[in-house]
Structure 1
Amino acid sequence: MFNAFFKLGGFFKRYKKSQFLAIFFLLISYFVTFSKPYLIGRISDSIVTGNYDLKELYQLLGIFGVLIFLTYFINVGWSFNLFKNIYLISRDTRNSLMKKYLAQFPEFFERNSTGSLMGKATNDVEAMSGIVGYGVMLIFDAIIYPILLIIVMFVISWELTLFSLLAFPPFVYVLYKTDIKMDEKFRRLQESFDRMNDITLESISSIKVIRSFNVEKVFKGRFKDHIINNRDADMDKNSVLLRYMPYSNVFNTVLMTLTIIGGVYLINKGKMTLGSLITFTMYMGNLSWPAFGLSDLLAMGREGGTSIRRVEEIMNYKEDIVDVENPVILEYPESFKFTDYSFKYPTSDRIILEDINLGFHKGETVILVGKTGSGKTTLLKQLLRLYDKNSGEFLINDIPIENYQRKSLIDKVAYVPQENYLFSKSVKDNIKLFRDFSEEEIEKAILLSDFKKDIDNFPKGLETMTGEKGVALSGGQRQRIALSRALIKESEILILDDVFSAVDTKTEENIIRNLEAERKGKTNIFATHRLSVIKPKDYVVVLEDGKIEAQGTHDEVYELSSWYKEQYDIQMMEVEND
């Protein structure tokens, strides 16, 4: 239970000022809490015996009133400083998680679902931050406070204290057993929450497909199953806590009963006054909150401990791609060469690329073609170093790609993937992608991607909102925004992965013509199914099941590859018919 608090030691040190103030005010509040029953006991004894001075009685009542007044400000002092840490820790932890997420590569996201990552950044962070805020208060209220209270009670009557606390051993035993059960309950609950997150995100993201195929009932059923699993896990966890709560009530009742029985006995023996018994009984009544607080501390410690382990798994994750010591800075990419290069994804046993031997130079345009699943996209990704190599070599300027500083490599590359992600921002913001570009640079990129005519028809031009993931735009418009986003960078290397699939033939011709004129002397690498983009001087690579079937100029590949010849003839016939 306390491991969670020890693991968050760094946060306690970071916010030690507010923690110190919170604990300081908390201890003062205990002093005030202890003082009020003591004053009531003295007043009671004075009234019962009849030996009281009216002036002294008014003084005691005045002190009592002042203590009540001060209680408000003292409580504000500890609660403000203590709970402020919750928001600070949530902020810092979420920033650290986002920084970690943004530094990761595809393998990380293959191993961690989006729902799981969201759960760690929301529920788990809240559970962690609660330990440093509410959890600290519980440690003092459920452990330190009752210890101090018992010491004060011991001073009043050690005999009554020992007699009243006979109920403690069975209570501590039940608490220990409950604590052991909670860890597995919270782990199961958080995993069910992750799965519920996944199905929610999946359903919302694919709503068009779901409705198009009329399978709403299927997804409703799937979601219902996950909701039920989450409910069952939550109820399973709460069933343990709820069984503890009645036991806490019984414990408090037994304590009060033992106190009254023992107190009456001691009064009859002349070892205790009525006022002392009233004070003692009030102190004993104050033990009721620590008894309930222990259940909260138990739950928070287990939930927080589970959450900390889940967040630690992310924060301690070793990056899949790490720069070598003293990496080379890529300044001018002149040549590219694959030698006996093979690759498979880390989470798969299937070889995607096998014995790739391919070379090209700066200023060339390389066109990758082949059937769906032939390995075109995977080959393009090797230029981005999203994964470490498996075997063989990939050299840039005769230096292995892994010897370069990855940032310097990415700075030289503009990449447009098959699946274009648009943010829920304006067209302009999606092209700029939160980078600093002038209006002239934006206009130039739009012209190169033949997107000007579309923007002129938008109601607000560049300020038109794209909707979530570009839902307000057509597929071709989304592709050209993504293309503009890449072209505005004016990179040495341009990588396009099937970016013409949703545009018409005329638009495609305009874009190709613009790229030919603008990117002379720069390296272009395209993957496409539309062979009409290929020009006589382009270097064509035909992939078949992860292997290079043929490579060379269009005329050379046309003679070498029967698949290429067949596809090219069919597509040219379709163009003529159009």
Structure 2
Amino acid sequence: MLKYFKWFWTYWKRTKLALLFITLFTILTIATKISYPLFLKFVIDELSKDYQVDHAYKLVFFFLLLSLVREILWEALPLLRATMNGLYTAWMRNNYFQTLTKKANSFFIKFKTGDLITRLTDDLDGSWVRICWYSCSGIFRPLEAILILSFSLSVMFSYSVKLTFFTFLPLPLLVYIMHKLEEKILRYTDEKQKSISRCNNILEACFSGIKVVKTTLSEQYQYQQYQNAIADRINKEKKFLKVNQLVHFFTMMVNHFGTVVVILIGSFYVSKGEITLGTLLMFLMYLKNLIDPIYTLSFFWASSKQIFQYVERLMNIDETQCNLSDGDMGEKLDEFKELEFKNVSFKYEDVQESILKSISFKIQKGEKIAIMGAVGCGKTTLLELISRNLVPTGGEMLVNSLPMENISRNSFLKYLGHVRQENILFSESIRRNIVLGDDFMEESISDAVKNSLLEKEIKSFQKGIDTLVGAKGSLLSGGQKQRLAIARTIIRKPQLLLMDDCTASMDAQTESDFWKQFNENHQNCCSIIVTHRVSTAKQADRILLMSDGTLKEINLPNLEHVWSEVRLQETEI
């Protein structure tokens, strides 16, 4: 339990004064609440002795004033707590969003997108019994309950020890029931959240690949998958709700049993003259006030088990060691001169054989090399190693003769451009997809659009460069997406450019025009081009063939013959 409160403390310590104010405000609010039955007892006992109109008016006036103050404070307290809940939620969500953006690719292999969305939404504030609620309201409600119980019991004991004792006689039974239900609460909470994550995963996968779903007429299959996930979620939710309602039922039954005891035994004491009618009424009001605190404490116990499961799911994100190296740690680069691989190997987790084996090559500024190879042979993995999204399992990568791991990641990435095989676009305008929040001059944006051969298409759009591209660029063709991704990269004037099959969706003429523009405007750029097209490979100074995890150089006259053999092997497989 302590480790979970340490996790909360990272946020609580930022608002210590605010939490102190809420604590003092809670004490003041509870004081007015507790004084209410005591003052009512005084009014009834006073009026039953010797009724005087003036005296009665004064008592009623003060009673109404106390009621007004109590209600104002009682309504203001939840507002203060809710404000803090929202503040903590914003901090938590921002913190974990930043944490996730620093994770390496291997992290996102372990955690699916839908699951991460669930952890940052439903686990935080998907309902009122979530981390957001617990961060302030959840911890102050038991404090409020303890204050009510302690103040109320002090008053009750001062008037009748025996009646107070009978009031709390059923409590040990409640403690026993809570203990028996603890394991089920933990298990059903975890199962419920996992079922929500599964639903989100299916939704994310379906809508991301909706074009494939439509083309293959697999809507019914997707629907069935989602129906199964929903059925499982409903089943898990029912189990959770059953045990949750059991806790509520037994708590309320124990409390109501206490009320019956007070009425029976209290009436007997009034008839014997041991307590006054006002005292019995006070006991009943305190007992009514005590029902909520007792339930709150039992609910705090049960909800803490749930909340700690949610926190555990967020802590898993922190504890999964897939972080990229610290951005500003290491040597700073003034410019890019050369990149060298020395016997570099790489193996994915849970895969026995290395996908890259003893890779060695060297490329200098202004040079272009093309890498060809069968599908799945490791070409993209090689580029991810250069981008520092993956870490080699063997060998050495050198930049300007310095080990890659000794160079500041941010410093290196300033000189790197990477056009990926998958054209990832954001649901914003063409302009924003190019600049990605950076402050570029209009001239630079125009040059990038021109050099990527997008100028003609953009002019045909009604809103020009401010046209929205739709969800993941759905309003653009495959070739337009590729050229937009290229524009986004070359506007940053990289000195080392990685291009992963970036012209695959272009027609022959468009590709020829693109390389002509590229060669004219990026003569000093070092380029590594992964491709399956012979015409693209011929743009390079050197051509490397990847096969069985190794690289070997191909002479240009032999290129078409070698590549035909590679294609033939793919067909046979």
User: TM-score w.r.t. structure 2 length?
Assistant: 0.93
Map of 2:171 onto structure 1: 168
Distance 1:386 1:32 in 2: 60
1:403 is aligned to 2:406? yes
Map of 1:348 onto structure 2: 351
Residues 97 and 121 in structure 1, CA contact (< 8 A), matched pair in contact too: yes
User: What's the CA shift for 1:485?
Assistant: 0.4
Which of 191, 202, 205 does residue 188 from structure 1 map onto? Answer: 191
Amino acid at match of 1:437: F
Map of 2:88 onto structure 1: 89
User: What's the CA shift for 1:536?
Assistant: 6.9
Residues 328 and 409 in structure 2, CA contact (< 8 A), matched pair in contact too: no
Residues 192 and 233 in structure 2, CA contact (< 8 A), matched pair in contact too: yes
Partner secondary structure for residue 366 of structure 1: strand
Distance 2:68 2:567 in 1: 89
User: What's the CA shift for 1:412?
Assistant: 0.7
Map of 2:562 onto structure 1: 563
With over 3 angstroms needed to count, the CA separation of the structure-2 counterparts of 1:10 and 1:377, relative to structure 1, is closer
User: What's the CA shift for 1:542?
Assistant: 0.9
Map of 1:329 onto structure 2: 332
Q: Which moved more, 1:238-247 or 1:142-151?
A: 142-151
User: What's the CA shift for 1:91?
Assistant: 0.5
Q: Which moved more, 1:69-78 or 1:202-211?
A: 69-78
Which of 429, 434, 439 does residue 426 from structure 1 map onto? Answer: 429
Map of 1:152 onto structure 2: 155
TM-superposition CA deviations, 1:261-300 (whole Å, max 9, x none): 2212222332111111111111112122123323432342
Equivalent runs, 1:384-533 vs 2, <5 Å: 384-533=387-536
Which of 205, 220, 224 does residue 217 from structure 1 map onto? Answer: 220
User: What's the CA shift for 1:119?
Assistant: 1.3
Ranges in structure 2 where 5+ consecutive residues have no aligned partner: 569-573
User: Percent of aligned pairs with the same residue?
Assistant: 28
User: What's the CA shift for 1:227?
Assistant: 0.9
Which of 374, 378, 386 does residue 377 from structure 2 map onto? Answer: 374
Residues 494 and 523 in structure 1, CA contact (< 8 A), matched pair in contact too: yes
Distance 1:566 1:170 in 2: 79
User: What's the CA shift for 1:474?
Assistant: 0.3
User: What's the CA shift for 1:320?
Assistant: 3.7
1:54 is aligned to 2:53? yes
Distance 1:155 1:28 in 2: 22
Residues 167 and 258 in structure 2, CA contact (< 8 A), matched pair in contact too: yes
User: What's the CA shift for 1:175?
Assistant: 2.3
Distance 1:301 1:204 in 2: 35
Residues 323 and 404 in structure 1, CA contact (< 8 A), matched pair in contact too: no
With over 3 angstroms needed to count, the CA separation of the structure-2 counterparts of 1:342 and 1:234, relative to structure 1, is same
Distance 2:277 2:505 in 1: 90
TM-superposition CA deviations, 1:294-313 (whole Å, max 9, x none): 34323421221111111122
Residues 41 and 278 in structure 2, CA contact (< 8 A), matched pair in contact too: yes
1:206 is aligned to 2:209? yes
User: What's the CA shift for 1:367?
Assistant: 0.4
1:105 is aligned to 2:108? no
Map of 1:79 onto structure 2: 78
Amino acid at match of 1:476: G
Distance 1:52 1:66 in 2: 21
Partner secondary structure for residue 166 of structure 1: coil
Map of 2:23 onto structure 1: 23
With over 3 angstroms needed to count, the CA separation of the structure-2 counterparts of 1:105 and 1:238, relative to structure 1, is same
With over 3 angstroms needed to count, the CA separation of the structure-2 counterparts of 1:192 and 1:284, relative to structure 1, is same
With over 3 angstroms needed to count, the CA separation of the structure-2 counterparts of 1:35 and 1:565, relative to structure 1, is closer
Distance 2:463 2:489 in 1: 23
Map of 2:556 onto structure 1: 554
TM-superposition CA deviations, 1:380-409 (whole Å, max 9, x none): 222112111111222222222122111111
Distance 1:173 1:543 in 2: 67
User: TM-score w.r.t. structure 1 length?
Assistant: 0.93
TM-superposition CA deviations, 1:502-558 (whole Å, max 9, x none): 11111101110111111112201100111112337621001123222x315423x53
User: What's the CA shift for 1:109?
Assistant: 0.9
Amino acid at match of 1:107: S
User: What's the CA shift for 1:153?
Assistant: 0.9
With over 3 angstroms needed to count, the CA separation of the structure-2 counterparts of 1:52 and 1:13, relative to structure 1, is farther
Distance 1:189 1:9 in 2: 27
User: What's the CA shift for 1:567?
Assistant: 7.5
Which of 225, 240, 252 does residue 237 from structure 1 map onto? Answer: 240
User: What's the CA shift for 1:486?
Assistant: 0.6
Aligned pairs, how many?
564
Distance 1:226 1:536 in 2: 50
Q: Which moved more, 1:516-525 or 1:478-487?
A: 516-525
Q: Which moved more, 1:30-39 or 1:428-437?
A: 30-39
Map of 2:62 onto structure 1: 63
Distance 1:2 1:331 in 2: 47
User: What's the CA shift for 1:493?
Assistant: 0.8
Partner secondary structure for residue 275 of structure 1: helix
Which of 140, 145, 169 does residue 142 from structure 1 map onto? Answer: 145
TM-superposition CA deviations, 1:451-478 (whole Å, max 9, x none): 1111121122111110010000100000
Amino acid at match of 1:118: I
Residues 156 and 280 in structure 1, CA contact (< 8 A), matched pair in contact too: no
Amino acid at match of 1:551: E
Partner secondary structure for residue 103 of structure 2: coil
Partner secondary structure for residue 338 of structure 1: strand
Map of 1:576 onto structure 2: none
Equivalent runs, 1:244-255 vs 2, <5 Å: 244-255=247-258
With over 3 angstroms needed to count, the CA separation of the structure-2 counterparts of 1:330 and 1:19, relative to structure 1, is same
Map of 1:122 onto structure 2: 121
Map of 1:575 onto structure 2: none
Residues 448 and 515 in structure 1, CA contact (< 8 A), matched pair in contact too: yes
Map of 2:38 onto structure 1: 38
Residues 27 and 147 in structure 2, CA contact (< 8 A), matched pair in contact too: no
Distance 1:396 1:532 in 2: 29
Q: Which moved more, 1:336-345 or 1:403-412?
A: 336-345
Amino acid at match of 1:25: F
TM-superposition CA deviations, 1:337-379 (whole Å, max 9, x none): 2222211123433311112222222111000111211221112
With over 3 angstroms needed to count, the CA separation of the structure-2 counterparts of 1:106 and 1:241, relative to structure 1, is same
User: What's the CA shift for 1:59?
Assistant: 1.7
Partner secondary structure for residue 423 of structure 1: coil
Residues 339 and 355 in structure 1, CA contact (< 8 A), matched pair in contact too: yes
Ranges in structure 1 where 5+ consecutive residues have no aligned partner: 570-578
With over 3 angstroms needed to count, the CA separation of the structure-2 counterparts of 1:144 and 1:232, relative to structure 1, is farther
TM-superposition CA deviations, 1:391-436 (whole Å, max 9, x none): 1222222222122111111111111000011111111111111111
